[in-house]
């Protein structure tokens, strides 16, 4: 008896198997993507309860361009309040500290350039500012508001430098000082830079007085402020990427929520790194154990992800005319509002640069405000240049008034006095150890995120994803080390 079922050829069987494998491979990715990011309309009831969609919240009667609600605000948060909270965390913390910044850049051909500077940071207002100082510096309305809220002296003392600067420092006054002392490479030894940051406003965008000391000439020169939206020479990041943008310079919108599982990505060619944690001695760590929000972050999901708000900040043209970037998209962890991923988009709405951070709690006394960038990677997509910065030997440092008035001045630079020598061993020993380009995360929030790579950059990105490390234009393969059984 002959069967009515048509014969199944080997070619058809192979096609069916391949199709099934492709479907099975893509299904988890689609499901994972569907489960990680949500638009505002798709947010869970719990997230909706934490979000205030009202765009017309009351303004401060004395400073009308900032919200009237007392900082750091309370849930439910508006998108603008989320943006203000994210401004608490620029590249260098706003609280007084010292750190080693081991930085560098790498091109698609494998050219690498590195340096080390010791950074001393001294904000005008610290988290220990007393009630008496507040009574002298605060506006009349700020003092009345604090009394009406029943804030205790200890509560005022624990406010952050950014919180104090919002209402207690007038536009044009000094908000922060960064002294940078170069220790590497040898030809840059003893060179210094002094950045004196000023409080801005919508009508006053000038941000910095800039002084440079040349050890060879033994001269201090005052430099014009760099263009805020232009990249540093041979780097991926701009001046504003480092010092931060002020929240009143943007219009804020909540795009939704997302879960991030990785930001900074170490290559398989660098399984270990030596850190000098808080200047307490060198410790070897497996790079696979370095987490996005550090070891002390208590809010990791069971699967290791970090829950994030995703906000969009559109540059206000009346505040920053002719600014290079059109808008930013930021992933803020839901508890401290720390931006662990930032994307910049140009006037053509296309993605320009991705910044990703690994973060640690460097100042536990400030709790959620004590987080700071530990490792940052910037990727300029057009030029396929990556810059990186590692903040090693990070220590909270309360400066005395005498130290502030002595160290953070142009006159002090001629002494070539490295006030607090700090050491690090985190520099790359070979271009093959460079960080991977950040994930593109295509498919998330497609109505806003327009991602286009040139065919050459697309090929290099795909090659690194296959290899687990950078593949340079030369095409020379890099051999990944065999995994060690134990760390000596």
Query: Which pLDDT tens digit goes with each residue over 455-473?
Result: 999 999 999 999 999 999 8
Q: Is the pLDDT of residue 88 over 50?
A: yes
Q: Is the pLDDT of residue 29 over 50?
A: no
Check residues 293 and 23 and name the one with the higher pLDDT. 293
Confidence band, pLDDT 50/70/90 cuts, at residue 159: confident
Q: Is the pLDDT of residue 478 over 60?
A: no
What's the whole-number mean pLDDT along residues 7-27? 35
Confirm whether 433 is domain-assigned.
yes
- Nearest-5° angle of CA 223, CA 226, CA 230? 155
Report how far residue 50's alpha carbon sits from residue 75's, in angstroms, rounded to the nearest whole number.
5
Phi and psi at 153, nearest 5°, equal -60, -40
Predicted local distance difference test score (pLDDT) of residue 202: 95
CATH number at residue 107: 2.50.20
Question: Measured over all CA atoms, what is the biggest interatomic distance in the chain, rounded to whole angstroms?
Answer: 104
Predicted local distance difference test score (pLDDT) of residue 14: 36
Predicted local distance difference test score (pLDDT) of residue 157: 40
Q: Is the pLDDT of residue 4 over 60?
A: no
> Terminal CA-to-CA distance of the chain, rounded, Å?
73
What's CA 8's distance to the chain center, in Å?
57
Q: What is the pLDDT of residues 236-245, one digit of tens each?
A: 999 999 999 9
Rg of the chain over all Cα atoms, to the nearest angstrom = 25
Confirm whether 442 is domain-assigned.
yes
Look at residues 365, 362, 418, 361 and name the one whose alpha carbon lies nearest to residue 160.
365
Predicted local distance difference test score (pLDDT) of residue 16: 36
Please tell me whether residue 466 adopts helix, strand or coil conformation. Answer: helix
What's the whole-number mean pLDDT along residues 394-414? 93
Calculate the CA dihedral of residues 234, 235, 240, 242 and round it to 10 degrees: -130
Phi and psi at 348, nearest 5°, equal -90, 10
Q: What is the pLDDT of residues 418-443, one digit of tens each?
A: 988 899 999 999 999 999 999 999 99
Q: Is the pLDDT of residue 66 over 80?
A: yes
Supply the range of the domain harboring residue 254.
Answer: 31-116+245-400+416-467
Predicted local distance difference test score (pLDDT) of residue 240: 96
Confirm whether 484 is domain-assigned.
no
Predicted local distance difference test score (pLDDT) of residue 286: 97
Predicted local distance difference test score (pLDDT) of residue 158: 60
How do strand 339-346 and strand 282-286 relate by DSSP bridges? unpaired
Helix (H) / strand (E) element for 194: namely strand 192-198
Predicted local distance difference test score (pLDDT) of residue 140: 47
Q: What is the pLDDT of residues 346-383, one digit of tens each?
A: 999 999 999 999 999 999 999 999 999 999 999 999 99
Confidence band, pLDDT 50/70/90 cuts, at residue 476: low
What's the whole-number mean pLDDT along residues 23-51? 72
Confirm whether 190 is domain-assigned.
no
* pTM as predicted: 0.86
Predicted local distance difference test score (pLDDT) of residue 226: 87
Q: How many domains does the chain have?
A: 1
Q: What's the sign of the alpha-carbon dihedral 17, 18, 23, 29?
A: positive
Q: Is the pLDDT of residue 19 over 80?
A: no
Q: Is the pLDDT of residue 24 over 50?
A: no
% residues pLDDT > 70 (the chain): 84
Q: Which long-range contacts (CB under 8 A, 24 or more apart) does 303-308 make?
A: 303/261, 304/261, 305/36, 305/259, 305/260, 305/261, 306/259, 306/260, 306/261, 306/333, 306/340, 307/257, 307/259, 307/333, 307/334, 308/257, 308/258, 308/259, 308/260, 308/332, 308/333, 308/334, 308/340, 308/341
Predicted local distance difference test score (pLDDT) of residue 127: 65
Predicted local distance difference test score (pLDDT) of residue 473: 87
Confidence band, pLDDT 50/70/90 cuts, at residue 115: very high
Confidence band, pLDDT 50/70/90 cuts, at residue 188: very high
% residues pLDDT > 90 (the chain): 77
Check residues 292 and 159 and name the one with the higher pLDDT. 292
Confirm whether 49 is domain-assigned.
yes
Confidence band, pLDDT 50/70/90 cuts, at residue 143: very low
Q: What is the DSSP letter of 68?
A: S
Predicted local distance difference test score (pLDDT) of residue 136: 43
Q: Is the pLDDT of residue 481 over 50?
A: no
């Amino acid at each position: 008896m002959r069967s009515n079922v048509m014969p199944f050829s080997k070619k058809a069987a192979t096609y069916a198997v391949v199709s099934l494998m492709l479907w099975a491979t893509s299904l988890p990715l689609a499901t994972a993507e569907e489960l990680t990011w949500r638009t505002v309309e798709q947010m869970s009831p719990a997230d909706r309860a934490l979000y205030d969609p009202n765009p017309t919240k009351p303004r401060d009667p004395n400073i009308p361009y900032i919200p009237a609600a007392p900082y750091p605000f309370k849930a439910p948060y508006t998108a603008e309040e989320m943006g203000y909270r994210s401004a608490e965390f620029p590249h260098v913390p706003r609280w007084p500290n010292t750190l080693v910044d081991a930085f560098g850049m790498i091109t698609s051909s494998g050219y690498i350039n590195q340096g080390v500077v010791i950074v001393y940071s001294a904000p005008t207002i610290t988290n220990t500012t007393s009630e008496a100082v507040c009574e002298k510096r605060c506006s009349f309305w700020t003092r009345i508001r604090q009394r009406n809220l029943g804030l205790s002296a200890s509560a005022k003392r624990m406010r952050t430098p950014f919180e104090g600067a919002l209402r207690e420092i007038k536009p044009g006054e000094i908000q922060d000082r960064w002294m940078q002392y170069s220790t590497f490479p040898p030809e840059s030894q003893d060179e210094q830079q002094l950045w004196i940051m000023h409080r801005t406003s919508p009508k006053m965008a000038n941000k910095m007085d800039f002084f440079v000391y040349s050890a060879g000439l033994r001269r201090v020169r005052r430099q014009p402020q760099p263009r805020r939206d232009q990249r540093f020479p041979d780097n991926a990041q701009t001046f504003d990427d480092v010092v931060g943008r002020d929240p009143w310079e943007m219009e804020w919108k909540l795009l939704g929520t997302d879960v991030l599982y990785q930001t900074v990505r170490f290559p398989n060619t660098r399984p270990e790194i030596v850190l000098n944690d808080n200047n307490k001695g060198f410790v070897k760590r497996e790079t696979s154990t370095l987490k996005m929000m550090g070891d002390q972050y208590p809010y990791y999901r069971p699967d290791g992800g970090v829950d994030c708000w995703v906000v969009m900040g559109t540059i206000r043209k009346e505040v920053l005319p002719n600014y290079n970037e059109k808008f930013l998209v930021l992933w803020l962890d839901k508890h401290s509002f720390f931006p662990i991923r930032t994307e910049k988009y140009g006037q053509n709405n296309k993605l320009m640069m991705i910044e990703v951070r690994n973060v640690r709690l460097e100042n536990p006394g400030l709790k959620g405000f004590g987080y700071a960038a530990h490792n940052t990677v910037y990727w300029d997509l057009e030029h396929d240049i990556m810059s990186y910065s590692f903040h090693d030997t990070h220590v909270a440092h309360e400066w005395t008034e005498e130290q502030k008035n002595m160290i953070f001045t142009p006159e002090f630079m001629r002494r070539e006095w490295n006030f607090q020598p700090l050491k690090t061993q985190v520099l790359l020993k070979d271009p093959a150890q460079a960080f991977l380009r950040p994930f593109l995360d295509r498919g998330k929030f497609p109505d806003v995120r327009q991602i286009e790579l040139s065919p050459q950059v697309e090929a290099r990105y795909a090659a690194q994803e296959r290899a687990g490390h950078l593949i340079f234009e030369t095409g020379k393969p890099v051999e990944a080390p065999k995994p060690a059984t134990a760390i000596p």
